[in-house]
Amino acid sequence: MLNESQILERIRAVVTEITDVNPMAIVPTANIREDLHADSLASAEIVMALEDVFKVEFSEEKVRSLLTVEDLIEAIAAELGKTKRSVA
């Protein structure tokens, strides 16, 4: 199973591709909309891409609660823990 640092690196890759933001700006405390300048469409793209990368699925309620990079890390780690899948 991936640790939080490995999850963050994959999040950085996805967010950078979608938003063109500097990867070093993608820190756990960063707000997805305010700090990373992701509008609602970009935010949706980020979540869908992360679901594909990590082979997880978030409920609509969960997606609405994903405000920071830390929220993404925690949600992904929780889903990976639930499924007990190994992500390569």
**Parts of the chain with a pLDDT under 70:** 83-88
> Tens of pLDDT along 72-81?
999 999 999 8
Length of the chain, in residues: 88
Domain count of the fold of the chain: 1
Q: Which of 21, 74, 31 is nearest to 50 (CA)?
A: 74
CATH number of the domain encompassing residue 16: 1.10.1200.10
* Domain annotation covers residue 88: no
pLDDT at position 13 is 97
* Domain annotation covers residue 59: yes
pLDDT at position 84 is 53
- 39: annotated active-site residue: yes
Question: Residue 47: which residues within 8 A CB-CB, separation 6 or more?
Answer: 58, 63, 66
Residues 20, 39, 52, 71: which is the catalytic one? 39
Return the structure tokens found at 13: 């890759």
Report how far residue 81's alpha carbon sits from residue 42's, in angstroms, rounded to the nearest whole number.
26
Report how far residue 8's alpha carbon sits from residue 73's, in angstroms, rounded to the nearest whole number.
7
* Domain annotation covers residue 39: yes
pLDDT at position 3 is 93
